[in-house]
A = this chain, B = another copy of it.
Amino acid sequence: MNSPKRTTIYDVAEEAGVAASTVSRALRNPRRVNAATREHVLRVAERLGYRPSPLATALQSGRTATVAMLVPDITNPHFFGTIRGAERRASAAGITFILSYTEESADNERNQIEHLARSVDGFILASSRMSDEGLWEMAEEHNLALVNREVRGLPSAVVDSRVGSRQIVEHLASLGHRSLVYLSGPHQSWPAGERWRGLRDGARNLGIRATRLGPFPPRVVGGGAAADAVLVTGATAVVAHNDLLAIGVLRRLAERGVSVPEQISVVGYDDIFGADFCVPALTTLAGPQDEAGRSAVELLLENRSRSTARTPDRRVMLPSHLVIRDSTGPAPA
């Protein structure tokens, strides 16, 4: 506990026979102090086991060396990669990483930001539920970086799903499929729009038919209704908004005795943990989610001193790739 008062910069100063300011400079601003003095101060600090107080530092300097990541839904494995990447990058830069969940609500997101605003240098908003306008407004006051969401004027790191979606279409077309169904995620979901556009455009180019159903909750449980909806369309290929939904679809199809991929091919997005060992193993569009998290932290760091000039909005686009497994196959004759 804090009972045995921790050693402060003053303790070090006294012990070293210098002023507190000198200690501070020796630590933060090496060139501002004589090499010998500095060496001495450092040694004393070390001996006393001195640790700076991040709070005091932050209060004074305004820099907290902390970032917060806001994620809509903690139960969604999709975010694990992003969280991991962001945490790693932050950690490597000596930056404290705060994780918080917004329970899928834009209001909640706003509140969290407001609540943490003074304690962090910036926010990583993963799959934000806020509107573009809301984000712009927030960005006036706070340092933001978006993950898997693009908004004009705001820095973002996204895994491509537009180009990847075309690859999906090409893959399916090459297997002889003439039509596909996209099982859409939530309406406000930015990637859902991207994916659909990619699929639609790809389909148009290749002269096959693409239709969209939904929205469905992007979770395993959503797969039941989704699968049934697909069956009535008679489609031979279905692309689910994400792997969870795809897995739910696989389940329901198995229940109903529809064989995959013989009768229907199924594709997902994200390549989450488990996509390789569900049955049949899922064909899915994989992307470097952890890279996205990493990049987001970097965008935040770049923007730290944005107080003066507005940096041009940086956008990082990470390439995705199609992982072909057992859930896709030749279209039935």
- Interface residues of chain A, those whose CB is within 8 Å of chain B, are 1-4, 6, 51-56, 58-59, 62, 64, 74-75, 77, 80, 83-84, 87-88, 91, 96-101, 114-119, 141-143, 247, 250-251, 273-274, 277-279, 306-307
Could you show 30 A-B contacts with beta carbons less than 8 Å apart? A1-B141, A1-B142, A1-B306, A2-B307, A3-B307, A6-B117, A51-B115, A53-B118, A54-B118, A55-B118, A55-B119, A56-B59, A74-B80, A74-B87, A74-B88, A77-B273, A80-B80, A87-B99, A87-B100, A87-B101, A88-B101, A96-B119, A98-B99, A99-B99, A247-B277, A274-B274, A274-B277, A277-B278, A277-B279, A278-B278
Q: How far is the CB of A120 from chain B (nearest CB, A)?
A: 9
Q: How far is the CA of A115 from the CA of B93 in the complex (A)?
A: 13
State the number of copies, please.
2
CA of A273 to CA of B277 in the docked complex: distance in angstroms? 12
Contact (Cβ within 8 A) B96 A116: yes
User: Interface residues of A: mostly helix, strand, loop or mixed?
Assistant: mixed
Beta-carbon contact of B51 and A118 below 8 Å: yes
Closest to A304 in B: B1
Give A273 to B119 CA distance when docked, in angstroms: 33
CB of B143 within 8 A of CB of A1, answer yes
CA distance A158 to B244 in the complex (A): 29
Select from chain B the residue with minimum beta-carbon distance to A54. Answer: B119
| Chain B residues with CB below 8 A from A96, complex form | 98, 100, 116, 119
Q: Report, nearest first, the 10 A-B pairs whose CB atoms are least far apart.
A: A274-B274, A99-B99, A279-B279, A53-B118, A55-B59, A74-B84, A277-B278, A54-B119, A3-B307, A55-B58
